[in-house]
Structure formats: structure tokens, C-alpha cells
Structure 1
């Protein structure tokens, strides 16, 4: 890797040069104050003059474009990237089509930006999602909105039913107009509302059939085929009400089936009900083999616990099983719901929370056993009662019931649409690609599609960073640090709240010896054909860099070193390398450089850069690495 030194500082390149292996060879002198003045050789100025003199290569255009791109001068970056692609399309590395697209987009050249991005994709470039980790939906709820079907009274307990939502309401009750003495509100009935793909509810009407009565009906759950419903009702069936020993009408679980006329009929009581204690809020397991519910069955853990029964046949069930202390507390647990991802959501006022009923989530294993209970936090939970939560995890929305907007002591509930505000966390560590050590003090930037800097941070001792981004957008993460090559990663964020890991590996730049002009100019190897000492056309392009430097800096004096491979007698190679060194000197003199500023010497095969000594089998490419010229600043 080379670096170019500018008047105002150091600009680094991401183009790997084969001169890495050459930088420490040849007659490299120890740094001293005599060379300090050359620390500010303006390589970019020299490159531009090389182009003005009629010499060009893909590497020259890449380096020129990069000096501007990494410093956010996109107008000049676009100028050189456009030349690169226009003049050297086959030699252009894939990443430069992307950079060219970004640079042109930043200067509003949409035609070029689109064309280069198409070329980038066509050649195999793909932003791709990097290690997107989908998180649980409720870790990122940030939007709650009252459903439009709410009334001025209580509306609560929603349940998904195909493309609809069924819920309980006192404000819409039509059955007899009876008033419940304990809260002076009408008894609840079940209603059905149409739900669109975003969860908006409209057109609420009374559920048709024999379900609604003059007593309470609420919290239904439905089988996937839409033909069976379980729901909660007061102890009332066939026109008869039942009371416990204290003359109280408890809650019971019922089942109804949908007839061919679309009405809910054939209402039956579940056989494990008991008039002495309430059972309510049924919820079906994902496989519909278990029915969860809340009850105050004697011998439980608290005031009300969550249980399940196995469904063993047509209205046949096993014995109620308490979910145990992992879920239940000495207080109240109620309103269970099982999601398609087999998560149990429920409400409790017996666990640490924000106040009143809070909504919790627990994982269910294959046997229906719950673990890892967690509070889903704000804003789903509030200081009031929050309960009756349901969620479509695939569509990333759900509903909950809450009295949070009521006055203190109010029992009026509302149904809220819960939407996830899709956010992406982009995070990672900046580290040295060779040692894996964290790089403290590196600058990390997040850029949008227009190359605007959205956020940036200087990383601390642990070299970690984190940005918040939007879903379904393209970004670039860029890492820079003095004496390291810049790194940029393109990201296409996913369409769900996720954590995208973007590690930033930075490569240390080999420091240029203070007297190595070739290193400072990012000089590409000047090769000679086997057994030849004539200047090849590709070598002329590189020599043009030396020529321009000597013109810009007339005080420069250069020692030219020439080296051969080992495939001929040693003495022959010394003579050949001397001729190559002198041919290089003559080329520069012919271009107007005073001969007094140049010396030249051939070293033959005495300073090989690899294993390819006499008798060692090597490829032509390996031998060619040893056939090279170097340019040393002399005092």
C-alpha cells in the first residue's frame, strides 16, 4: 500500500500496489533532516501534470479520484472517476463503479450515477445485507395510536380473526341495555371490525349469532380455519344464569362454531368450568392443541394465574395445568396470547413494571412451558393498566388495551394500534486487519445515498461504534485513521428492525522511507522484458511521474537503481541492469532533465525481492518482480 503526501496533509489510497514488496529494497538511506523538506511533495499535483503531459493509466485516475473522494470533494472525484471508466473500462476495479456513481450523484449528475451503478451491479457488485439480526418485535415499539373504532366507554380485548379484529365494547352494547352494578356501565358485547394490511380498523358491527347476551362477553380467540371460537362470558347459557355460593355470577369459558349462514351458533360451556371460580381470556397455542386461560382456581399461586388444558377431542380437554412460578405471581396474571413465533404475551400486576397491569413476554417451548419472562417496556406499558395484547409478528403490528388516557381511577379502556417504527442499528468494531487489535481514535462516518454524512464518531478505547439508520435504505459506513488505508462498506438495510454488524478492518500503510520518491508517488513497478533494456510503454507512464516531480521540484536529485532477475550469469545481469539504469537516465535527460541531477547504477541480481535465485523454479510473474527500477532522493 502506498501513500500520497499533499501540501495540507496525508491522503491515503485503497489501491494495493505491488511495490509493497519493493519498498524496503535497494539503496534506501536512513532518514535525516536533509530529507525533511521532501515530506511535502505534492503527489496529486504531480499526477495532474503527468496527465497534462499526455500520460494516463487506470492507476493514475484511481489515485486522483481517491484523493478527492476520501476528502469529500465529489466534483473533482467524479471528474477523474469518469475518465477512469471512459478510458479504461476493462481495467477499472468494481468498487470504482460504485464510487463513481456516488460522486456523480453528489453533484446531481443522475444519468452518470445511474449508469455507473448499473455497471457496478452488472459486474458483480452487490450492497447486500450484512449479518442482519432480526430482533423481537416488542423491543422496538415506538408508535401507539388509538384505533378509530373506540367509543367514549370501554373497548378492549382485541383478537385476530382472519382479516378482521373482534373485540369487546360497552359503548356499542345493544343487548337489553343492562347496566353492571359494579361499574355502572353497560355489559360488554363482541364486535367485529375490518382490518387493513396496516392494522387500521373500520366498520365495527355486532358479531352475528348467539354469542352476545345481556351479560358480559369478551376476549375471544379463533381457530385458524375460522370455524371455532372460544370466548369469555358470565355464567349464563340457555337463558339461565348461574351463581356461586356467594350469589355472584362468575366468568366462564365457552365455545361457539360458525354455521353455514355465517353466524356464530352452537354455544357450549367448556366442561372444566366451575361456578365457584372464574375462568376467562382464552388463547389457543400455535398448533391449536392447547387452550390457555386465566383463572382463580383454588390452590394456585396468586389471585389469578395462567393455566392451559390440552385439547383432546371435540369439546374434550385435559386437566388444567398451572404455568408455575416462572409466569405466575402472588398477584394477578391474565390476558394470555400466543403468537406465531410461540411467544406467550400476558399481563400482570405482580411483577416489577411501570404501574397497574403491565404486558410481559415469555418464550414457550415445545411442551408449552414458559421461560425468560421480560417486561416489554414503554411505550406499550404505561403507569396505568395495559393488557389484552395481540401481535402479528410477520406484519410487525399489533393491538393492546389500556386506560392510560383516562382520569385517575377511570375504568374506560381503549384499543391501541401498535406499530413498529422500523429502525436499524448499524454497529461494529474498528480493528487492525493484520493484528485484530482495536484501533482507538479512528473516525467512523455513516453516509446516505447522496454521500451526505448522517452521523460520525471518534471511537474510544474499545473501538466500537453504533449508528441508528432507517430501514430499506442504502448507506455507506466509512472508517479512517491516520497511517491506515480508508475502508468503506456499502449496506442495503433490511425491511425489519435489525442489528447490522459492520466490522471495519483497517490496513496499516507502509511508511515511505524519506528518500524513496517512488513510494511517495505511488509509483507502479517499472518492468523490463527479459534480456532487454529498452523502456516499455507502460514504463513511460511511470517515468512520467518522476519527470513531473523533477520539473515541479528543481532541487531534486535522483539516484536510479536497476535490478534484474537471476536467470542469467551474475556478471551478465550486472551489465544488463547497468544498461537498464542508464536507459532510464537517458529517457529523463531526453525529456529535459539536466544530467547533473541524475545518477544511475545497476545491481544485477544482488537484491532480489523474493525466493527466485539461481536454480529456484519460479513463474514468469515472480521473475518479473525482480526486474525493476527504483528512484532514490539523494542529497
Structure 2
């Protein structure tokens, strides 16, 4: 990120060729011409001057132009050579930032401990208390984060950022058509553009791109970062400090600071440009944002008296159109670093970018409820909003689900690109085949899905091939049930993961209840020497009831058996009581008496195993013999 957001721009003052390259390099560095300064510093280092001071400045050249890999190289060399780096915590912090930008989180954590040891009363150090282990890895996780980012078609090889949507119009800043370049990094100056938005299901398409419809807003210097009032009639924007003759104006050091301006919409054209009263030629003011009620303007400034390099301030907008005094948002937002790009959402959540918190990349996007009275520390938005590079100029639509951000992350089209983002519901597909458990043939069946509370949430039917599919939410527990008349229900538990669009396979095998001339159940067991119907037996007998209700003409007969314990005569009577109890239960469920031809007890005359009289057997073995059968006599 190497443009206006770094917040100071130099007038092109001629530089003479000095005898010593380091003196010339220092001059370019002081003038913020980092590309040229880096070129000269590298020659100085190659010539033998590799002092920590020179290496730190060389690292700064690349750091200030967001070239993390090169910056890390020179900072690392400087810290190795510098025996007193504990007196330079700012460079330790910059090195940490380059390491997290490159994804070297383990090394970043090691240096965070050093930074923590050498600093006192530093808000960045205070953030580390009890939170050093895998600090950055937590921010890089995307598991369970369901946000899609799309690189917009408006992006160019130059800088594109500062998206601001109003209705179907997207406003943004770009250097695409400006041939005049500035010395910071030899890139074009910025102008404000507008384009038409067409909304799609999960993205947007952009068309009809043109320069802002305005009189004298875009100049040959920087214009960027806008905010528009709720009535659509006032535009706030950032610009270099320029004279009426459209020439850069500078302070005594030759620095052209940034200023805030406003324009009014007249007949569809932005015009009547006014400079805001709290600007100064001695410091920068920019990055406007408005509160939802339009009564407060939020700005960024590097004026003296702040907490860090740039801070966020609030400015009251009075009913008569005048402005109050800028008020610093305080230590709950501002740090020793750079807080920039404020944006206030419809719900009064403050979004901003900062490199003063220990986040994922260089500039990271944060959100805070401070405008709603919260004093909780700002929350890092994490991946994929943030990356190891610069992430900034966050904008969220009134739906609080979609919006735009800018980033120079890898994979973009240019130095900075605009990305559309949108939250979505994470879904996973559950599919499978329903089969007959005995024959393995496919079944057309009903497949129901229940959530962890037992609530039915979906129902589908398998086709002739037995196939079914259904979409379920991520990271939840479900029960899948297959059902078909004359079959025992099949149940399967499944837990979806946090991975969107994952496919889970759950096959279901339904056991048929009718097999030839018999209704087949799990054994109907009785307690020893008892004939009352147990609860587990009632559950099984309900299958008999269901089958008979499905087939109104069906007639059955019941057989009941005992184990060998007790006399033959006693067991014969006991089995008859059990057969009769089974019959009575079925009749109690609405089945007509004529549909049960008989209920006969056979005592111990038809044992299933070796547990005859006098044979020592376990209770489980004896229970195998205490059973009932249900034979179909007539079947429609």
C-alpha cells in the first residue's frame, strides 16, 4: 500500500547530485522518494557501509512501500548487527509486521516476546499479555468463516481502492488515467471514478466506468477517499493541499499535506468545492466517514497531540452547516501506530484499518462498538477480510452482509485492488443410497432429517435408484432417517464440518418386516416366569400393528415359546399366557380380533439351543428361547 493513505506527499523539489551516495540517499529518504532512496542505499551497503542505521533506513524504504519481503531482509540484517536493538522497539515491531505479512508466524511470535520484554506502557505490548502462543495463527484461520471475496473488474495494474456504494453507483479512487506520477514510488496520482453496479446472487458486476461527474474535483494531484451525506447532496473527499492555481502547497519542510474538502450536488454534477475549516498546512487531514444520522464526521489526522502516527477523530456537524472541533476517539481506538480509513455502518459499528494492533498483516481491518458505548478492545476481522498484506478502506452495505474492501494481497491485478465481499450460509451436501438390507436392491423411500433437538428440518424421497441428496448447515449434528412401509426405519447420525460445499455420504439400509410368510421382528422377550408385555416388546409389537394397518386384509397367527426352566406343564401354561398377552396388546391398538387367527403357546417343546432341562446355561442363552413368532395366514 503505497499511495495517499500513507498520509504525506512530497512536492517535487529538485535534488542536486551530492558527492556521497549516502547523503543523497538520506536526502531522497527525507523527501519520501523511497524507490530512489532504496536504490542508492543498496549501492551504499554494497560499498561497505552496512551500519544498522543504513540497514534500518533501507528496510524502511521497502516497508513504507509495503514490500514486506525486501523490508524483512534488511531489518533482519540490521537487528543482527545492532547490539542495542532493545533501544529501537519500533524497528523490532516493524520486523514483526514483515514476518506476519510473510506468514512466518513462529518467528513473529518469538520476536513478539522480545518486543514485550523491551517495551513499557506500549499498547501493542499490553495486547500480548497471556496471549503469545500462536497469536497470529488464530487470525489466519478461515475455518467456520463463510465469506466470499471477489476481485472486481474495475481493478487495474495501478492503485484501486476506496470503494463507496450509493444505490447502483460505485465510487472509488484509481490512478488509471493519470500520467503524472509522484516520487514516493513513481506511481500515478489518484482521481475519483464512478461506475454502475449490477448485483448478482453472490457478487456484483461493474460497468460504465467514468471519471467523477464533477467540476474541478479531480486535479493532476491526489483525490481519494469519499463519503456522501444521507440526502446524497454533499460529498466529502481527500485531496493534496493545492492552491487555486492547482499547484501543490507545502509546509516549511517541503511536505504537501492532505486536506478535506466538500462539494455539493447541483443538477447531477458535483461542484461548489469548499475546504473544511479544521484543515492545516502543517499536518494532514483526510479519510472522511459519516455517522448513520449524518451529524458526525470522522476523519484521520497526523496532527500533534495524538496517540500515534495517525489517529481517528470525530467532528460534530452542526445544523447550520458549521463544524465542531476535532475530538480524538481515544486510546480504545488509537494506538502508537496508524489508525486509518474509518467507516461507520448502519448499526453504528466503527470499522477502520490499523497497523498498531497485533493482527494478521500490515494494515488490518478492525471493528469496534465504541460508538455504541462499548469499551471492548477492537476486534480483528480476521481472514479472509484480512491478509498478510495491507487491507483497508472497508465499506459495508446497509444489509450488513455485503460490501467492499481494498487489499494488495497476492493474486490481485495491481498494487491495490478492490474486492467485493459477501457472507453466505455454509452448506454441505448429504447424499446416499437407500437399499433393502437383505437383498441390497435400491428402494424408493422417505428420507427425513432431524436436528440435534429432534426437530424435523427436511424431508426428501429417494428415486428409483435409491439415491437421495439434501443440503444441510455446516458444523451441526443431524439424524438421518429412512422410512418405508413394511420396513424397519434406518437411522444414521452425522456431524457436518465447517467446510463449505463438502459432500458427505450416508447410505441407509432398511430391514424388511415381511419375509415370505412371516412378519419378522426382533425377538419379543419376556422376563423369567412372567407373561406381561415389556416396554421393549411393546416397541417391537408396534411394527406388527403398522404392517397390519398397511395391509387391511392381512390375518396372522401368534406362537409363543418359553425356556426349559420349570416343568413342561407349567411352561406350556406360561407360553399360552404370553401368546394371549401378545394378542391382547395388538388388539388394544385397534386391530380387529378376526385378523388374529390364533395365539398358541408351545412351552419348551421347540427350544432354539442346547439349554434343555438339566443343562447349565447363561441367562442370555435362556432368553433366546423366550420368544414369539408372527405367521401370515392371509396376505392381500
What is the TM-score with the length of structure 2 in the denominator? 0.50
The whole-number CA distance in structure 2 between the counterparts of 1:157 and 1:296 is 20
Structure 1 residues 335 and 139: alpha-carbon distance in aligned structure 2, compared to 1, 3 A threshold:
farther
Alpha-carbon RMSD: 5.2
| Aligned: 1:251 with 2:258 | yes
- Could you tell me which residue of structure 1 aligns to residue 415 of structure 2? 412
| Aligned: 1:207 with 2:212 | yes
Q: Quick check: 1:311–1:317 contact (8 Å CA) kept in 2? A: yes
Consecutive unaligned residues of structure 1, counting only runs of 5 or more, are 1-136, 427-441, 457-465, 491-495, 498-510, 525-536, 564-576, 581-585, 599-631
Consecutive unaligned residues of structure 2, counting only runs of 5 or more, are 1-141, 430-452, 483-488, 495-499, 502-523, 543-547, 588-592, 605-625, 629-636
| Aligned: 1:403 with 2:413 | no
Structure 1 residues 453 and 217: alpha-carbon distance in aligned structure 2, compared to 1, 3 A threshold:
same
Give CA-to-partner distance per residue, 1:42-87, whole Å, 9 cap, x none.
xxxxxxxxxxxxxxxxxxxxxxxxxxxxxxxxxxxxxxxxxxxxxx
The whole-number CA distance in structure 2 between the counterparts of 1:159 and 1:184 is 26
- Could you tell me which residue of structure 2 aligns to residue 157 of structure 1? 162
Give CA-to-partner distance per residue, 1:246-278, whole Å, 9 cap, x none.
222110111111002x11001101111111110
| Aligned: 1:560 with 2:577 | yes
Give CA-to-partner distance per residue, 1:401-447, whole Å, 9 cap, x none.
1112389xx98211112122421699xxxxxxxxxxxxxxx999998
Q: Quick check: 1:141–1:421 contact (8 Å CA) kept in 2? A: yes
534, 551, 558: which is aligned to 1:548?
558
Q: Quick check: 1:157–1:400 contact (8 Å CA) kept in 2? A: yes
| Aligned: 1:422 with 2:419 | no
SS at match of 1:560: helix
- Could you tell me which residue of structure 1 aligns to residue 303 of structure 2? 297
Structure 1 residues 360 and 467: alpha-carbon distance in aligned structure 2, compared to 1, 3 A threshold:
same
Give CA-to-partner distance per residue, 1:171-194, whole Å, 9 cap, x none.
133xxx422122222211100011
Structure 1 residues 592 and 398: alpha-carbon distance in aligned structure 2, compared to 1, 3 A threshold:
closer
Structure 1 residues 596 and 343: alpha-carbon distance in aligned structure 2, compared to 1, 3 A threshold:
closer
Paired positions, count: 377
SS at match of 1:329: coil
Give how far 1:633 is off: 7.5
Q: Quick check: 1:279–1:294 contact (8 Å CA) kept in 2? A: yes
| Aligned: 1:225 with 2:240 | no
- Could you tell me which residue of structure 2 aligns to residue 322 of structure 1? 328
Compare 181-190 and 211-220 and name the one that shifted more: 181-190
Structure 1 residues 418 and 593: alpha-carbon distance in aligned structure 2, compared to 1, 3 A threshold:
closer
SS at match of 2:369: strand
Q: Quick check: 1:293–1:336 contact (8 Å CA) kept in 2? A: yes
Structure 1 residues 294 and 454: alpha-carbon distance in aligned structure 2, compared to 1, 3 A threshold:
farther
Matches within 5 A, 1:398-547: 398-405=403-410, 412-423=415-426, 449-450=460-461, 468=474, 477-478=479-480, 513-514=526-527, 515-516=530-531, 518-519=533-534, 520=537, 522-523=540-541, 547=557
Give how far 1:165 is off: 1.0
Give how far 1:548 is off: 2.9
The whole-number CA distance in structure 2 between the counterparts of 1:332 and 1:275 is 20
Structure 1 residues 182 and 454: alpha-carbon distance in aligned structure 2, compared to 1, 3 A threshold:
same
Q: Quick check: 2:531–2:577 contact (8 Å CA) kept in 1? A: no
Compare 213-222 and 515-524 and name the one that shifted more: 515-524
Give how far 1:597 is off: 6.4
